[in-house]
Amino acid sequence: MEHIDVELLAPRGNVTVIRLPWRKFPGVFIQGDSFSILEAAARAAARTAPEVQELADDLSKILALYAKTLNEHNIPLPYTTATYEDSTELLASGRLQSPDLRRFFELVSGYLDYDFDDSDWMAITTGIQGIPAFDYPLLGSAALTVRVRQENGQENVTIAVTGMPNEALRIRLDTLFDVLTHEEK
């Protein structure tokens, strides 16, 4: 057994919020007996509908504590609380040469702390073949959708990035488009 120091961010009890030294975001710690009650409710949910609501209510209370605790400690939530589809807006758009597309995705992913890899790139290159536009989600510290529109017979792509309103991210995306477009000349 290893003993470590953790940050206790919420009051002691059956459910609390802690941060482990090697993790960026805090986690929810649930006492074993409390967790077993949640597990039993989940098992029962498979049989009857009322327990589904009770389980959802219990989990919502835990998530509310987590969100409140992070807010009290000025730690951003690692997820969004707004309804994504209803709250998105165009953050940036521009034209790039096709060879710059992967670099664009890698850099934007870095802004989001998202690990863009070869499987992402394969999905994008497959998705844009033979269709006018392809949407690809990037989910990290923010949620973005990148629409790629291949221009007929040209080496250019048009890109539109949508997501929750975020001025800092908007500025970074505009700058990225400026840099990549400038490099083309």
Q: Indicate the pairing of strand 89-97 with strand 133-139.
A: unpaired
Q: Does position 140 have pLDDT exceeding 90, yes or no?
A: no
Question: Are 26 and 48 members of one domain?
Answer: yes
How many domains would you assign to the chain? 2
Q: Within a domain: residue 115?
A: yes
Q: Within a domain: residue 1?
A: no
Q: Where is the domain boundary, 16, 39, 72? A: 72
- Mean pLDDT, rounded, of the chain: 80
Q: How far apart are CA 93 and CA 157, in angstroms?
A: 11
Question: Are 175 and 125 members of one domain?
Answer: yes
Its domain, for residue 131, covers: 84-184
Question: Are 119 and 147 members of one domain?
Answer: yes
Q: How far apart are CA 185 and CA 152, in angstroms?
A: 21
Residue 54 pLDDT: 72
Q: Does position 87 have pLDDT exceeding 70, yes or no?
A: no
Residue 100 pLDDT: 93
Q: Within a domain: residue 78?
A: no
Query: Global pTM?
Result: 0.54
Question: Are 101 and 168 members of one domain?
Answer: yes
Q: Where is the domain boundary, 15, 42, 72? A: 72
Q: Within a domain: residue 79?
A: no
Residues 149-173 have pLDDT tens digits of 887 667 788 999 998 888 999 999 9
H runs (alpha helix) in 47-166: 49-72, 84-87, 101-111, 118-127
Question: Are 11 and 50 members of one domain?
Answer: yes
Residues 28-81 have pLDDT tens digits of 888 766 666 666 666 566 556 665 667 766 777 777 787 788 888 888 877 665
Model confidence at 84, in pLDDT bands (50, 70, 90)? Answer: very low
Question: Taking Cα atoms as reference points, which of 126, 150, 124, 149 lies closest to residue 137?
Answer: 124
